Structure 1
């Protein structure tokens, strides 16, 4: 997917959030936002995808703010809250569809998307959204493909619900390679987050999507372990909008199950659903 004017506004609003989280004063905030906007506009007409442009902009913001991880506190809060909610709702989750839906609801742990707010009472929100189900539900077609899975993760908080789905897949005999972020990028889960949750002891292979701080994925630039896993898997599970934007238009991959909440208009339009829809969409 290519970048739109609404994407630009959303990206700059995230830079502003990064400035606030880093404790930047008004002068540094304005300089950072102006510099990031200039960089963004210079990249807009290139062949880079939206996630590739966004990754470059956010890396630039982190450099200007001299901070390696402005979202660290929010990420820790998200994981802690998700752990508590999972403990509460786990008894009511049993089928593959249930675990997928829980994972998709977890995708709403996403800070800085313009027009999207992370709820302050996630337990109540989870139960409300769970009762609504999926707007696109391809789970019956997805499940038979789960013999060998590459799981592309997204946010902290969300990854706690991913752990439930991964445990279900492992209980059925699936081979699972989990790819997280190599370095901090927004509130995305990194190797440290995955290990803190014990995912390195659950999955068959824990790796990263690439060597740098990329919010999406470019298969050609992925780690050797991930390239190998992609070449042998029966299914890619792609969590979140950045992975959707990175892979949706590609036709050179194994079947891909896009699990996400469509939190913005461009992504919702591409998926053919209203904004806010929760989907489990299979592309074969």
Structure 2
């Protein structure tokens, strides 16, 4: 998916949020912001927003020497989600349609995105989950998802954010786990999940988890490791969580089921859905 003008304010805000986590030096902050604005002015809008974000956050890490600016917030999001996990796990277990509810909760977890909202408290998160239980989720898409997961011999699950991966676990627990490899980012960026997060929340204890070799907040295949690309090419079913994975994989010819919450006007226009919608959609 290409970058749109509406993406630029979001990228600038991400820059400021990350700088406030890494430095108190106003001169360093000002210098990096100026560099980022110059870079944005020459950016190829045919590339994805995730590609621009990757470049910006590499610049911030190089200038500040801080490898993971949002590490404390990521741990807080993981802990917040883990506190809620037993409650929602019981609800899934008692549901008349456990897969449908688990899919809803996994999509609801997509709100845990510091690239969109830099501060999220537990009350906001619970309210978002309650809302997602009432919103429409395409029953036909759920049935197609179920059919795909039973038919496929290999499933690649592309995770998105820390915290959110706790709710991915709820969905994965309703899937044939022996077929699944979950993939996380190869290095920290914003609050995207890494191998450390997968270990911390217990995801790595129930399925195989690999890093994709990239520090992009999405799945830019040319930037991923050869071993990950082989997994991607061989998978008979791919589950792609979140906006970043959608932005970077939309248009792929691989059998991808996208799960996300529509969080901005750009994605809303692309999917032709209102902001806030729950998305479970296969492409092609």
Q: Please show how residues 58-77 of structure 1 align to structure 2 within 5 Å.
A: 58-77=57-76
Indicate which of 235, 238, 247 corresponds to 1:236. 238
CA distances 1:56-99 after superposition (whole Å, capped 9, x unpaired): 11111222222111111110110001111122222211421111
Partner SS state of residue 238, structure 1: strand
CA distance in 2, matches of 1:271, 1:18: 29
Rate the CA distance shift 1:105–1:20 in 2: closer, same or farther, 3 A: same
CA distances 1:170-216 after superposition (whole Å, capped 9, x unpaired): 3xx5501111011110000101111122322311x321222x31111
Following TM superposition, by how much is the alpha carbon of 1:119 offset from its aligned partner in structure 2, in angstroms?
Answer: 4.6
* Corresponding residue of 1:201: 205
Question: Normalization by structure 1: what TM-score?
Answer: 0.90
Question: Normalization by structure 2: what TM-score?
Answer: 0.90
**Tell me, which stretches of 5 or more residues in structure 1 are unaligned?**
none
CA distance in 1, matches of 2:251, 2:30: 35
Indicate which of 183, 186, 198 corresponds to 1:182. 186
Q: Please show how residues 73-84 of structure 1 align to structure 2 within 5 Å.
A: 73-84=72-83
Rate the CA distance shift 1:277–1:119 in 2: closer, same or farther, 3 A: farther
Q: Please show how residues 154-233 of structure 1 align to structure 2 within 5 Å.
A: 154-170=160-176, 174-203=178-207, 205-210=208-213, 212-233=214-235
* Corresponding residue of 1:98: 101
CA distance in 2, matches of 1:113, 1:177: 27
Following TM superposition, by how much is the alpha carbon of 1:137 offset from its aligned partner in structure 2, in angstroms?
Answer: 6.1
Greater mean deviation of Cα atoms: 142-151 or 130-139: 130-139
Contact kept in structure 2, 1:137 and 1:280, CA below 8 Å: no
Greater mean deviation of Cα atoms: 119-128 or 12-21: 119-128
CA distance in 1, matches of 2:140, 2:72: 34
CA distance in 1, matches of 2:200, 2:280: 27
Contact kept in structure 1, 2:3 and 2:47, CA below 8 Å: no
Greater mean deviation of Cα atoms: 22-31 or 48-57: 22-31
Contact kept in structure 2, 1:261 and 1:276, CA below 8 Å: yes
Following TM superposition, by how much is the alpha carbon of 1:134 offset from its aligned partner in structure 2, in angstroms?
Answer: 2.5
CA distance in 1, matches of 2:241, 2:233: 19
CA distance in 1, matches of 2:222, 2:135: 37
Moved over 6 A (4+): none
* Corresponding residue of 1:21: 21
CA distance in 1, matches of 2:160, 2:53: 15
Partner SS state of residue 54, structure 2: helix
Following TM superposition, by how much is the alpha carbon of 1:225 offset from its aligned partner in structure 2, in angstroms?
Answer: 3.0
Partner SS state of residue 107, structure 1: helix
CA distance in 2, matches of 1:84, 1:19: 29
Following TM superposition, by how much is the alpha carbon of 1:117 offset from its aligned partner in structure 2, in angstroms?
Answer: 6.2
* Corresponding residue of 1:257: 257
Contact kept in structure 2, 1:136 and 1:281, CA below 8 Å: no
CA distance in 1, matches of 2:139, 2:64: 40
Greater mean deviation of Cα atoms: 240-249 or 222-231: 222-231
CA distances 1:123-144 after superposition (whole Å, capped 9, x unpaired): 3432232232436861111111
